[in-house]
Amino acid sequence: QVQLVESGGGSVQAGGSLRLSCAASGLTYNSNCIGWFRQAPGKEREGVATIFVSGGRTVYADFVKGRFSISQDNVKNTVYLQMNSLNPEDTGVYYCAHVRGRICTGLDSTTYNYWGQGTQVTVSS
């Protein structure tokens, strides 16, 4: 069974940085993407970035390009989201999610079949 545990959230001032971690267990040969999604109060969940487990190809939402970076440590089975130049619009709960046994198409949340519990990120102005 796949388990995803996020950590690294917190409060930061605008312009600051945070690094989120997603520790994954239960990955198998048909594990595809591990991605990050976020949900702000009163808004729908949106994709932030994802990485293909095999090969390391990355996909980013336009609104984080140049500011966020996703990476993976295959030894630790951990995916990181380095977030720089944070602004208040980045506030929300950040979720780690995984596609297994399905085609990963990037940041379409409906294709992700495993989800973590989320970690809160708050950016103050």
What local confidence, expressed as pLDDT, does residue 101 receive?
A: 84
Let me know: does 123 contact 87? Beta carbons within 8 Å: yes
Low-confidence residues of the chain, pLDDT below 70? Answer: none
How much is the pLDDT for 50?
A: 97
Q: What angle do CA 12, 16, 18 make, to 5 degrees?
A: 70
Q: Do 20 and 94 touch, CB atoms closer than 8 A?
A: yes
Residue 35 burial (C-beta neighbours within 10 Å; 0-12, 13-18, 19+): buried
The pLDDT of residue 124: 98
pLDDT of residue 27: 83
